[in-house]
Amino acid sequence: MARAMKYAIGFIGAGRMASALIRGLIQRGVCDAGEIVACARSEAGRERASRELGVAALASAAEVAASADVLVLAVKPKDVPALFEAEGLSLEPRHLLISIAAGIRTDTLMSYVPDSRVVRVMPNHCCAVLEGAAGYARGNAGEGDLEIVEKIFSATGLAVEVAEGDMDAVTGVSGSSPAFMYMFARGIADAGVAAGLSEEAALRLAAQSLVGAGRMLLESGKTPERLVDDVCSPGGTTAEGVKALAAGGFEGLVSKAVDASIRRSIEMSLSARAPKR
């Protein structure tokens, strides 16, 4: 294939996660839309990528790989084997493959693309509002590659390097946990509505309280316990609520939920098909 135009970053897949990352890169000024290429199988997917994101949209991963050295693998995990087996996508030493496919281990990815460098990232869907939390494992990548990964994922939130063996824990702690926060917000808002607030006011107040509490944790340098103490005055309103949560085993229940996600992630990684070659 003739060498195509060079782009700074190529996205293999142009779905929800790729779109969120692309928006972040553009909004934060890391790249211009004109420096990004993506692919989707369907005409509708390509049309959406070029209309909504302004990026070049191609029909195959091979064309994206011919057009960019830095590749973000953003297809569903179940579609990954077909890319490298049925479609025969092969990468070269110039390529850095940054995979966000959940549950596909770095060594599995490395055996698909033995000649290129691989980094595995677990982002979460809050990157759509530039408040994502991503953990990444460096695979066989070098420091320069990790700077690129940091740049891409810091544009949409927080990026933290972890060991490959900790990626399942990242999946539970930040990949899945936004869903738990939404359930928490629902519980808070329902009580607000029962006490007379409108659904809209209750949800907005609950949501902003989650945002604010997250920022307090990130920026105050205080532990969760210390922050709870800061909010509770003895005999006050918050202390009553905290007592009710403790009586219901709230923290243990939340830990059980995260643990269930981690265990499911381990199961999925183990059952991810090993490459044939």
Ligand X SMILES: NC(=O)c1ccc[n+]([C@@H]2O[C@H](COP(=O)([O-])OP(=O)(O)OC[C@H]3O[C@@H](n4cnc5c(N)ncnc54)[C@H](OP(=O)(O)O)[C@@H]3O)[C@@H](O)[C@H]2O)c1
Cβ at position 119, least distance to ligand X in Å: 14
CB-based contacts of 228, cutoff 8 Å, min separation 6: 242
Interface residue with ligand X among 79, 131, 150, 161 (CB under 6 A) is 79
14 binds ligand X (CB under 6 A): yes
Of the candidate spans 117-125, 149-157, 159-167, 268-276, the one that interacts with ligand X by CB under 6 A turns out to be 117-125
Cβ at position 95, least distance to ligand X in Å: 16
Torsion angle, alpha carbons of 213, 217, 222, 225, to 10: 60
Residue 101, SS3 per DSSP: coil
Find out whether 176 and 103 touch, Cβ atoms under 8 Å.
no
17 binds ligand X (CB under 6 A): yes
| Number of Cα atoms under 13 Å in the Cβ half of residue 138 | 14
Site for ligand X in 168-197 (CB under 6 A): 175
Find out whether 109 and 138 touch, Cβ atoms under 8 Å.
no
Cβ at position 246, least distance to ligand X in Å: 31
Q: Which residues of 120-159 are buried (b: 16+ CB within 10 A; e: fewer)?
A: bbbbbebbbeebbbbbbbbbebeeebbebbebbbbbbbbb
Cβ proximity to ligand X: between 201 and 260 the closer is 260
Q: Exposed (0-12), middle (13-18) or buried (19+): which is 213, by Cβ within 10 Å?
A: middle
Of the candidate spans 40-48, 139-147, 179-187, 225-233, the one that interacts with ligand X by CB under 6 A turns out to be 40-48
Q: Which residue is nearest to ligand X (CB)?
A: 15
Of the candidate spans 36-44, 90-98, 244-252, 261-269, the one that interacts with ligand X by CB under 6 A turns out to be 36-44
Cβ at position 79, least distance to ligand X in Å: 4
13 binds ligand X (CB under 6 A): yes
Binding site for ligand X (CB under 6 A): 13-18, 39-42, 45, 60-61, 74-77, 79, 83, 87, 100-102, 122-125, 175
